[in-house]
Chain A
Amino acid sequence: MTLPRSAQASSDAKARSTARRSLARDLRHLLLFALRRLVGLLFTVLVGVYLTIVIANMGGKVDELRLVQIRSDVSEMVRADPAFQDMPAEERNTLIARQVGLEVERLRLDEPFLLRSFDYLQRAMRLDLGRAEQMHSDSGSRQVYDLIVERLPATLLLFGSANLLVFFTSVFAALYLSRRYGGAVDRSIIALAPSSAAPGWFYGIFLILFFAFLVPLLPAGGMVSVPPPEGRLAYAASVLRHMLLPLAAMFLSSIFISIYSWRTFFLIHSSEDYVEMARAKGLPSKLIERRYILRPTLSPIITSFLLMLIGLWSGAIILEQVFNWPGLGSLLFQAIGHRDTPVIIGGVVIFAYLLAATVFFLDILYALLDPRVRIEGGKQ
């Protein structure tokens, strides 16, 4: 009697230890995979940021503009200074030349652009974003970091709520519609889907026309009324009122197409053979939906969710311009207008890092969700 029992115990232990070993192996694979991806993504960010630096400096041409600017500034300053009024022309010219030389050396314009571009790169990669050349934050800081941090919450608030709203509304509406395709609601969604061809700012213009000018119910732009109301609750209410129109514009422009494409996607997947099989078995429709439709389609859903989150970070330049929303998009637009390269590069660097983090997260999630991808991913 004891013998079989101990044999069973030993086989149990063996099974447990093999399970543990395979888990450890899986973990090791995953870790290796994660490391490899991390290095790859860092490289990606490096290349992307470098490209941005080259574009934002026009391959070094911005420096020439800056040089001309320095020259004219310095000579203007020297000429205007009464202390140098009676200086002979020659002496004054050497003075100007020396001043220009100092300024050039300070900005390191005497070094070739290639060299400096790598310097910019390593500083950008260390998130040492430097000082803005023209712009400053509302609190007066010239640090690019402060500029970005000041604008980030506005962008996140508006685009986060809009995109989350659109995403969840559309996925759940699509699931609902894919069960009842062909109905009146379904048909009207299909009929309305083409209206999404226009972007948010386009609807924004009309919303402003209707709700801010014709029927002045809501503010035409901005984020909070001027002066900002006292008290946290009143402040939030004011922001909410200002958010309503841009939110509606974004929602209008993407909800129908979003529902439509998710509906199509679910319909295609709910006509797979294994779903038919599950239906033939008589499984409840909730279970079919969860286990047979949602589970295999999870990776595309998560992909698009995360891609949507990435889209968030950059904001939307035009929508922010149209609604005068003080977010990252309008910051970037102003920076480009001022040719303020540190701010442009800073914005792109932040974007690049956030994107890389999202992609990394996506890869790990894939590896966990899809065994096929995990095995292939490990092989790569």
Chain B
Amino acid sequence: MIIERLRAGWVELRRYPSALMGLGIIAGLLMLALYTVIAIPYPQALEAWRGGEAWRMHPVNAEPLWLDRLKGGDAPSTLIIEHDAEEVEETMFTGGRRLRIPLAFDFGYADFPGEMNLFLRAEDHAEAPFARLSWLTPDGRDISLGGHRLQPRHRVSISQDRELTRRLGGLAPHIGLFADPASDAVPEVLPGRYRLVLDVVVFDEQADIDATLVVYGRVHGIAGTDHQRRELSLALMWGTPVALAFGLIAAVGTTLTTLVIAAMGVWYRGWVDALIQRLTEVNMILPLLPILVMVGTLYSTSIWLMLGVVVVLGIFSAGIKTYRAMLLPIREAPYIEAARAYGASDMRIVLRYMIPRILPVLIPTFVTLIPTFVFLEASLAVLGLGDPVLPTWGKVLNDAQTQSALYNGYTYWVVAPALLLMLTGLGFAMLGFAMDRVFNPRLRNL
């Protein structure tokens, strides 16, 4: 009978565009969640989000590529120039070799890169090799970038070179090295082929040198990157299954139990009702968010622990009082008396007569509860109590807030997770409100 009712409901629900839109949004989110879980397995996502060396080739705080192009900008993407073994010129001398490694690339963007790093690997050398760096611009200038004695894993942070900055007339190296000398007040990019040439003296017969020049862009991928060079798309994608699971489990866990318990209290009266009322009052005295914050600071910020606490505290929530106020008059309704007269059992009256009567009114509450819990997770994360390892939307927002993203103009950092949160909220709410009008028999004719 329930299935029939649902089917009839679905036929009617299809007439509401908002319901279809809500369903579409939810289906899209579900698909994204499914794809994410399959494409980026859980341990891999955690490992990547921990950050560190794995992200060293990514720019810091880069905008999404499409956003920049949409604004009509021409900000550079990241260029990674690996050294080509065939172009290396090698000259031998007693006790070592001289290597000349050119790293050439075309630069045609209108905007300057965000940063420059040179990664060198000189492993298994008996004695540390020595490298001298020079920068050749398209118009033939030769700028020395200094010399370095190479560690096995060496990193030359060209952008951080103060001395070079001074020599470039106060311009940061990643700007000064690309600037057109003809432009005076505001530096402009000189397009063309740039070369970084490494003159390395190696004191070893076999051991090799590996060089990678990274010219970091100002735009990256579909979601940009954060202050730790991590791709935001990873957190935005993984946030979807986490948010949906959290919202759904918490909403189902709390609403149904609360409703059944409230109805049982109203029906059985006496000590059952009294006990439920007392428990509810005790629970109401304990404010949810401070308790969660306390659990988060004192025990653990694991999202699953938080979910457990939310559900447990949500069972005897203030909702019981509201439901009780709705159920009290229903208890005295003649149709309940009729049910009792024909010998319906207590549980049957509670589950089949009392609860269905107020269920319609609760449908919007239930469906809007899902995003409430999604936002609760985000709220905790914004307070700095997000899950320590899991990438979620709330944690992205929290990172953005602690890095003053709005103040620094990294709007994409705030807008993307906020938009996803809003989309989730709207999807469930739109469906819920349309369902309300369909499944609520008293509203149908209104």
Contact = CB atoms under 8 A, between A and B. Distances in A.
Interface centre among B269, B286, B297, B428 (most CB of A within 10 A): B286
Given A202-B375, A380-B274, A304 B322 contact: yes
Contact of B281 (A209, A265, A359): A359
B390 interface: no
Contacts, number: 174
27 contacts: A40-B278, A41-B281, A44-B278, A47-B282, A48-B283, A193-B429, A194-B22, A194-B425, A195-B425, A198-B375, A198-B421, A198-B422, A205-B418, A209-B406, A264-B440, A300-B322, A300-B325, A307-B322, A314-B287, A317-B289, A318-B289, A333-B383, A336-B290, A344-B294, A355-B284, A356-B281, A372-B328
Nearest to B400: A205
Given A261-B364, A347-B290, A376-B269, 10 more contacts: A58-B299, A260-B364, A260-B433, A303-B322, A314-B290, A318-B382, A333-B290, A336-B293, A348-B287, A372-B328
Contacts of B278: 40, 43-44
B414 to A, nearest CB: 7
Interface in B2-57: 18, 22
Nearest to B326: A300
A197 B446 contact: no
Contact of B294 (A61, A310, A336, A370): A336
A373 B443 contact: no
Contacts of B281: 41, 44, 48, 355-356, 359
A174 interface: no
Nearest to A193: B433
B301 to A, nearest CB: 13
State which size class the interface on B falls in. 35 or more
Interface in B109-133: none
9 nearest A-B pairs in the assembled complex, by CB-CB distance: A197-B425, A194-B429, A48-B285, A197-B371, A352-B285, A44-B281, A197-B429, A314-B287, A300-B325
Interface of A: 40-41, 43-45, 47-49, 51-52, 55-56, 58, 61-62, 181-182, 190-191, 193-199, 201-202, 205-206, 208-209, 213, 257, 260-261, 264-265, 267-268, 271, 296, 299-300, 303-304, 307, 310, 314, 316-318, 321-322, 332-333, 336-337, 339, 344, 347-348, 351-352, 355-356, 359, 370, 372-373, 376, 380
B430 interface: yes
Contacts of B418: 202, 205-206
A268 B443 contact: yes
A174 B421 CA distance: 28
A317 B290 contact: yes
B379 interface: yes
A57 to B, nearest CB: 9
A300 B382 CA distance: 34
